[in-house]
Structure 1
């Protein structure tokens, strides 16, 4: 029998995911067959693994963007790459929210035989720690701009507001491109070296991924079990249907038609990142893994991956925007409120805009959803229903967000003329690179 330590990384992660889900219920409650103490210990192990990944995010983002903008031989027009990336993210986001609105109006998860379910479901109030200050549209735009241009970059980085960090890194990298001589050469060597060091650390931490993911999933299922869905199955089904359409239809078609690469091979290459995103519900924590998969398993250049992925991890939230649309229409249907076409168009636009810059951490979109509900005058208390089933949906939409980032990187790379993308099996390529010591 083949040594499990020599299994491909995505197989190890998948086994850890399934094993954690199987062991978790044995740890639940005082009557758990193994005991809650072990469950708490696993939760600590999982959090340590998650913290190790998050520790890499800030230096990795800065180094990858700055080094990517100044990589040797990367003097093709930067504006074209930037505009291509932006157009791709906006287009896929619009497709995602349109699918969400169509499905929510067709399935109508907030009703049963045409009767609103609010009276039949005990609505909970929104927990105080998630109850945001109600913001007008103008105030929300102002908050977005403040995060885009923070007065204190270090404070913004500590608080996980990555928009300002990405903008600063872009400005730094663009300014460095205009320098010449020894000063420029020293800076480029420093950021390139730092980027290589961060990727090496990422590779080391990823060898512990099966252990960390087993601990995370076991601890989660010990706390929540599998019965949280209850009467919200239709709501969950609507969200999952939208996510599956985007994951299995929209994005693969873009890979086939625009990038002209095999979607199946891309899925294989990104499997470790998808499993990581699903396990952690954090696109920010998954970023180091995503970059490693794109470069080592798919063959995308460091320049393109370093530019597109950090930007996508902050502004490309197709799954989040889709989820926000379904939640808002679900709440309206619960109370028998028929939103007009204009109001649904507003939901579409606001969901797309608020998904830009949503923190890449679990359940961060709930605050944005509360803002959209307040703009439409819908009750916030219905969000309490969503909290009961948000974890599994958060895991799923994070995986879609991450996969959308990788598709964007492949599309941009192909449009930039890169040819060595997915020309061989991802596992074969990764094994070959490891043997070469790359």
Structure 2
């Protein structure tokens, strides 16, 4: 079952209708009937779709990773692909946040708006999120603990909490064990292959019958609650983030696809559009992962052995869109506070945001937790996040789309490199 152009058009139309209707309803958000429609129609439809996708995330990731390892066949080759993938992801994230800070320092989105620091949103964020809350705990988690947490102590718990890095680690162990016992495990491999066919059929059925209406519900309720009102006050910040997201998408990913993968970037965007549309509506890299995998494999021709390893890893550690938000927001808040960031502080932001992206859950709003960590590291008040939280949901939709597009671009790049390497070996033989 292939993700076709017809479904892409349906999703795009649903997104546009969701934005328009949600924005109109936002003007009447105090009306009881608008709140009822938002809560019982838009929200219910959107959350049902989101839950159906989340339902498939763990089985898709686990089965895909195991089969990816088995299909690679050679643990040494798997290690090479893993190191190459990690290097690409960390490099693109570092480029993303550097580009964000460069553009933000040029456009000065926070200049002359210091009064925003005295807003009620800042006080409310400090009281509800920072004083003894989960955000503070996340800020204090060290890199050593992140490494320790790679290995699950309870696999069932890891799957129940959708801890992607731990699921990936366990799946790699299972895949390597199957390779090591390949004379005895043909039945298990067949079982995983059949399981993959089943879960992917369910994913594509969800896409075919529920994606357009689900995307409409998620986008409509997001715009009913946020609307464009908050953008007026934070217009330059909003424009700055969107501009850098577009530049990173076009320049960095475009160059990777065009020159390294040797494929047309227009072709890439056209064929990956269905997954991008779902990413925009869900604001979750993890939720869109099953669709992202299927779209990359069927529409872009990415090898399953590469896609099933590279993209799930990317959904956890490749947060370029989130890094862009953090870079712009850090400069924005520093300008509001009258602080000129030194070169060393900017380097610190790049390093911390890049490292912090490893192991971050691919769920809506997680970028704000990471931003609090970055602001604390350079001596800025993390409570200032309250200023941007009103429009973060709208930006989160766009940066999630950039995140998963980056995952697919790297998967395509590595897949094409593997094909060329094998072709060269065959020609020499």
TM-score, structure 1 length as denominator? 0.88
Indicate whether 1:77 and 2:73 are aligned.
Answer: no
CA shift, 1:175, in A, is: 2.2
Superposition map of 1:132-171 within 5 A? 132=134, 134=136, 139-171=141-173
Q: Kindly tell me: are residues 196 and 130 of structure 1, through their superposed partners in 2, closer, same or farther at Cα, counting changes over 3 Å? A: farther
Partner SS for 2:229: coil
User: What is residue 225 of structure 1 aligned with on the other side?
Assistant: 227
Superposition map of 1:28-427 within 5 A? 28=26, 29=28, 35-40=34-39, 41-71=41-71, 77-112=77-112, 116=114, 118=116, 124-125=122-123, 126=125, 128-131=127-130, 132=134, 134=136, 139-182=141-184, 184-207=185-208, 208-417=210-419
Partner SS for 1:77: helix
Q: Kindly tell me: are residues 332 and 68 of structure 1, through their superposed partners in 2, closer, same or farther at Cα, counting changes over 3 Å? A: same
Which has a greater percent of helix?
2
CA shift, 1:92, in A, is: 1.1
Q: Kindly tell me: are residues 319 and 8 of structure 1, through their superposed partners in 2, closer, same or farther at Cα, counting changes over 3 Å? A: same
For residues 266-296 of structure 1, the C-alpha deviation after alignment (integer angstroms, 9 at most, x for no partner) is 0001101111111110011110111111111
Q: Please say if residues 241 and 324 of structure 2, whose CA atoms lie closer than 8 Å, have aligned partners that are also in contact.
A: yes
The count of corresponding residues between Structure 1 and Structure 2 is 413
CA RMSD of aligned residues (A): 2.5
User: What is residue 21 of structure 1 aligned with on the other side?
Assistant: 19
- Cα distance in structure 2, aligned partners of 1:75 and 1:268: 34
Partner SS for 1:254: helix
Runs of 4+ in structure 1 over 4 Å off = 25-34, 72-76, 115-123, 135-138
Q: Please say if residues 286 and 362 of structure 2, whose CA atoms lie closer than 8 Å, have aligned partners that are also in contact.
A: yes
Q: Kindly tell me: are residues 304 and 30 of structure 1, through their superposed partners in 2, closer, same or farther at Cα, counting changes over 3 Å? A: closer
User: What is residue 435 of structure 1 aligned with on the other side?
Assistant: none
For residues 383-432 of structure 1, the C-alpha deviation after alignment (integer angstroms, 9 at most, x for no partner) is 1011011011111110110100000000000111169xxxxxxxxxxxxx
- Cα distance in structure 2, aligned partners of 1:118 and 1:27: 27
Partner SS for 1:269: helix
- Cα distance in structure 2, aligned partners of 1:327 and 1:341: 17
- Cα distance in structure 2, aligned partners of 1:137 and 1:30: 35
User: What is residue 429 of structure 1 aligned with on the other side?
Assistant: none
Q: Please say if residues 68 and 302 of structure 1, whose CA atoms lie closer than 8 Å, have aligned partners that are also in contact.
A: yes
Q: Please say if residues 284 and 361 of structure 1, whose CA atoms lie closer than 8 Å, have aligned partners that are also in contact.
A: yes
Q: Quick one: which of 8, 17, 20 aligns to 2:6?
A: 8
TM-score, structure 2 length as denominator? 0.90
